Amino acid sequence: MGGTIQNRDAFLGTIAAQLGREPKMKVEKPIWKHQPQRTVLAGASLDELLEVLRVQCEQIHTDIVETTKESLPVALDEVVKAYGGGPISLWKDGRFGEYGLSGLLEAKWPSQQIEVNSWDPSLGEKNIELAEQANIGITFSDMTLAESGTVVLFSSADKGRSVSLLPTHYIALIPKSTLVPRITQASDMIREKLNNGEQVPSCINFITGPSNSADIEMNLVIGVHGPVKATYIVIEDC
Amino acid sequence: MAMKFSKKNFTDRTKDNISDDFMRQAVASAQERLHGRRLDAAEELGNWEEWRSHGEEIRQHVLENLDFYLHQLSENVAERGGHVFFAKTAEEASDYVRDVVKKKDGKKVVKSKSMVTEEINLNAVLEEAGCEVIETDLGEYILQVDDHDPPSHIVAPALHKNREQIREVFEGKLDYHKTSKPEELALHAREKLRQEFLDADIGITGCNFAIAETGSISLVTNEGNARLVSALPKTQITVMGMERVVPSFEEFEVLVSLLTRSAVGQKLTSYVTALTGPRDEGDVDGPEEFHLVIVDNGRSEILGTEFQSVLQCIRCAACVNVCPVYRHIGGHSYGSIYSGPIGAVLSPLLGGYDDFKELPFASTLCGACTDACPVKIPLHELLHTHRRIIVEEEGRSPISERLAMKAFGIGAASNPLYSMGSKVASTAMKPLTKNDRISKGPGPLKDWTDLREFPAVGNTRFRDWFYDQKGGK
């Protein structure tokens, strides 16, 4: 791929010398003596994880809506209307169809003059412009961390980083089956992909509620550079 | 700004700050909030000590094998098409960044919060080269707009300013005409900065942790500015201190969990972003070109010394938030971008004793910092080590203290001298004593009595009292 590395040998040589040895070309990671992260919510059922997520959503100033696959179009429509409608920015993602949302996205909303823009790599930069003007960005969650109330998004050509970032509001669609205890399981999954010869995507986002800041007198302000409001819609899928 | 930002000496800096009532009250309340939130977050886990031990073992392992992990990191960054530059000095680092920006014909640079770019004085170098540099973290932005006011806290840089002061700064510099409500101020910054993100051609970030196994860098923020900086400009340059590496995602997540809990009491911040190389083929957003600058700037000289453990630091500021000295003198008194206990240990190591020799003495050695540290850096012991070196090896203790110690040494070594000295002490100090108190002490006592009274020397010597207690035996 053509990356470059400059000044490495001297730099690492200095480090090795300070440590009083030759540079190391191989290191085995030890088996860690402590692994407290593995015990958090260990063995919890999906229902138990969902309860943890519900409670955590209050902490992170995020609304949570629970629905079935059948009622999802109605539930999503309600949240979108509550946020003031379009324009809407979406990932290009087969899951919208699988979860029965094609009618809503392709017929109902356009008929109500709600503009819907699916990420389309062939449009190039235009995608970013559309996401920037969007009122709402909607993505699926690839993995959902109950403990922290986090949705994990893997970017790709069809799944731009901007959709969960630039619009004023953000909606994450969370299939209940994507719930895991915490970020530990997400890291395991990433490493598993790596071991299977896949490469990690250029951008992985762990998103926990809307953007916020406490930089002015330690007062919490919700909504700074990223979305100012966020809703998680949890879909019963198992 | 460079690491050292003040020409005043430590005593004058402290005097200025200690009389700033707003600052002191703001720091006290911030400390209480952040400290309280950290305790809650730790308690919730139930086994915080085990988490700390795990954090410590990871960081120690990395430092012991730092050359290996940096090698692996650089290989993997390059394999994904990124460019890695190892910079021995601050100048090498900032010159490299400037050259990349020039080559890209960059005019507007947006930055997310990074302590190491402050350390290498990057903004000044880029501005000198004719670039516009915009800090995008809300706190950093406020400071930058206010004519580059220095940061006073590693995590909350504008902690020392109140909302009215911020409103005035915005009114004067940003054409702001609303109230001092934090929501309105933040909204104004959002609107101003959004356009800057879209217009910028270069994005510069720091790096909370770099992941060797995948060649990834990570950014931990609440505001989302680091995501914008890394998603929109065509070129991204990430600057990291060389110790900021972890072996794999397995250790990364543990350290992130320790960082967010210790810094702000959150299980995770709003955004934790792991970026690997430039954008993938077909990606629409993300940078086309990615550069990683790995900075030594004095860190390697700490390796293999008794101070090595300070490089375990993950920059959470938990130590700052419990420090009784920081509470009273505030961040600016330290004269370094690194304040609080970690600053008092690190600044003399990176910046030298000439500028920072007072800092290790500005501590009660109470050890609260050590207890708070999520990766178990023995901070108060390192402060003590600094003191020992400053006094014994560098011979830099204050002259009055040296003379006093010398006099005491002579007096205490000779029985007749000691006996006479301790007998006349009470009489000698009498002119200065009022109601059993000395409030205007001479010589070395003056620094003490400037702030508080000193108890008068007793009329009875301990030796005589002890002798009497034993019934004259």
In a domain, A34, yes or no: no
Task: Provide the chain A residues 101-160 that lie in CB contact (below 8 A) with chain B.
Answer: 119, 121, 123-125, 127-128, 132, 145, 147-150, 155-157, 160
Nearest CB among B64, B166, B282 relative to A157 is that of B282
Distance CA B157, CA B111 (A): 15
CA distance B67 to chain A (A): 5
Across chain B, what does the average pLDDT equal? 92
The parent domain of residue A58 ranges over 44-236
Check whether residue B63 and residue B209 sit in a common domain. yes
Give the confidence band of B444 by pLDDT, cuts at 50, 70, 90: low
Residues B285 and B416 in one domain: no
Residue A229 covered by a domain = yes
Q: Given an 8 Å threshold on Cβ–Cβ distance, is B156 in contact with A218?
A: yes
The dihedral sign for the CA sequence B458, B460, B461, B466: negative
Q: Per the domain annotation, does A112 fall within a domain?
A: yes
CA distances from B63 to A11, B58, B216 (A): 15, 9, 18
Nearest beta carbon to residue B182 from set A23, A202, A216: A216
- Cβ burial of B83 (10 Å; 0-12, 13-18, 19+) is buried
Contact call for residues B308 and B101 (beta carbons, < 8 A): no
Nearest CA in chain B to A204: B274
Contact with chain A for residue B365, Cβ under 8 A:
no
State residue B288's pLDDT score. Answer: 97
List the single residue in A11, A207, A218 with the smallest CB-CB distance to B30: A218
Contact A215 B156 (CB under 8 A): yes
Residues 36-75 of A with CB under 8 A from B: 36-37, 39-40, 56, 59-60
CB contact under 8 A, A191 and B194: no
For residue B22, name the pLDDT band (cuts at 50, 70, 90). Answer: confident
CB contact under 8 A, A224 and B268: no
Residue B113 belongs to some domain of the structure: yes
The answer to whether position B108 is within a domain reads: yes
What is the domain-level CATH number for residue A48? 3.40.50.10420
Q: Give yes or no for residue A1 having a pLDDT over 60.
A: no
HEC string of B399-438? HHHHHHHHHHHHHHHCHHHHHHHHHHHHHHHHHHEECCEE
Residue B425: band (very low, low, confident or very high) from pLDDT cuts 50, 70, 90 = confident
| CA dihedral angle for residue B68, residue B72, residue B75, residue B78, rounded to 10 degrees | -120
Of B409 and B171, which is predicted with more confidence?
B171
Q: Do A208 and B136 touch (CB under 8 A)?
A: no
- Same domain as B110, residue B229: yes
Cis peptide before A87 (omega within 30 of 0): yes
Residue B275, H or E segment: strand B271-276
Question: A199 CB near a chain B CB, below 8 Å?
Answer: yes
**Nearest chain B residue to A154, by CA:** B274
Residues 63-102 of chain B with CB under 8 A from chain A are 64-71, 74-75, 77-88, 92
Query: Does B437 contact A at CB distance below 8 Å?
Result: no
Where residue A66 falls among pLDDT bands split at 50, 70, 90?
very high
* End residue of a domain, out of B295, B317, B340: B295
Percent of chain B with pLDDT over 90: 72
Question: CB-based contact (8 Å) between B60 and chain A?
Answer: no
- Count how many pairs of residues, chain A against chain B, have C-beta atoms within 8 Å: 304
Chosen domain end from B295, B312, B340:
B295
User: Does residue A35 form part of some domain?
Assistant: no
Tokens at B351, concatenated: 């910046």
CB contact under 8 Å between B58 and A32, yes or no, is yes
For position B456, what pLDDT does the model report? Answer: 80
Closest CA of chain B from A70, distance in Å: 30
**Do B214 and A200 lie within an 8 Å CB cutoff?**
yes
On whether residue A8 sits in a domain, the answer given is no
**DSSP codes joined into one string, chain A:** ----EESHHHHHHHHHHHTTSPPPS--PPPPPS--GGGGTTTT--HHHHHHHHHHHHHHTT-EEEEEETTTHHHHHHHHHHHTT---EEE---HHHHHTT-HHIIIIIHHHTT--EEE--GGGTTHHHHHHHH-SEEEEE-SEEETTTTEEEEE--SSS-GGGGTSSSEEEEEEEGGGEESSHHHHHHHHHHHHHTTPPPPSEEEEE-SS-EE-TTTT--EE-SSS-SEEEEEEEE--
Q: What is the pLDDT of residue B413?
A: 82
B42-67: pLDDT as tens digits: 888 989 999 999 999 999 999 999 99
- The reply to whether B164 and B288 lie within a common domain is yes
Taking only residues 449 to 468 of chain B, the set having a beta carbon closer than 8 angstroms to any beta carbon of chain A reads none
The pTM assigned to this predicted structure is: 0.93
Beta strand A229-236 with A63-68: parallel, antiparallel or unpaired?
parallel
Taking CB atoms and an 8 Å limit, are B286 and A203 in contact across chains? yes
Test the B interface: residue of A61, A196, A202, A219 with most B CBs within 10 Å: A202
Average pLDDT over residues B18-23: 87
Overall domain count for chain B: 2
Q: Angle at Cα A135 formed by Cα A133 and Cα A139, nearest 5°?
A: 100
Q: Do A29 and B279 touch (CB under 8 A)?
A: no
Summarize pLDDT for B380-408 with one digit per residue, the tens: 999 999 999 999 888 877 776 777 777 77
Residue with the bigger pLDDT between B393 and B339: it is: B339
Nearest residue in chain A measured CA to CA from B219 = A205
Q: Is residue A33 part of a domain?
A: no
CB contact under 8 A, B77 and A3: yes
| Eight-state DSSP code of residue B252 | H
Q: Does residue B115 lie in a domain region?
A: yes
Cβ of residue B277 closer than 8 Å to a chain A Cβ: yes
Q: What is the pLDDT of residue A219?
A: 86
Q: Same domain, yes or no, for B283 and B406?
A: no
The reply to whether residue A224 touches residue B267, judged by beta carbons under 8 angstroms, is: no
The answer to whether residues B289 and B410 belong to one domain is no
ipTM of the complex, rounded to two decimals: 0.97
Flag whether pLDDT at B1 surpasses 70.
no
Contact with chain A for residue B318, Cβ under 8 A: no
Q: Select from B250, B270, B295 the last residue of a domain.
A: B295
| pLDDT above 90 for A182 | yes
Per-residue pLDDT tens over the stretch B111-167:
999 999 999 999 999 999 999 999 999 999 999 999 999 888 888 899 899 999 999
Count Cβ atoms below 10 Å from residue B89 Cβ, excluding itself: 13
Angle CA B25–B28–B29, to nearest 5: 85
Residue B421 is predicted with a pLDDT of 78
Of the candidates B183, B216, B225, the beta carbon closest to that of A200 is on: B216
Backbone phi, psi, residue A70, to 5°: -65, -40
Q: Which whole number is the average pLDDT over A75-94?
A: 97
Q: Is residue A11 part of a domain?
A: no
Q: A205 to chain B: which residues are within 8 Å by CB? A: 227, 271-273
Tell me the CA distances in angstroms from B390 to B13, B18, B406, one per residue in order: 21, 26, 17
> Do the Cβ atoms of B70 and A12 come within 8 Å?
yes
Q: How far is residue B300's CA from residue B311's CA, in Å, rounded to a whole number?
A: 10
Q: Chain B contact for A195, CB < 8 A? A: no
Question: In chain A, how many domains are there?
Answer: 1
CA distance B392 to chain A (A): 24
- Put simply, the answer to whether A199 touches B272 (Cβ < 8 Å) is no
Q: What is the domain range of residue B111?
A: 49-295
CATH number of the domain at B65, please.
3.40.50.10420
Residues of A in contact with B34 (CB under 8 A): 218
Model pLDDT, residue B129: 96
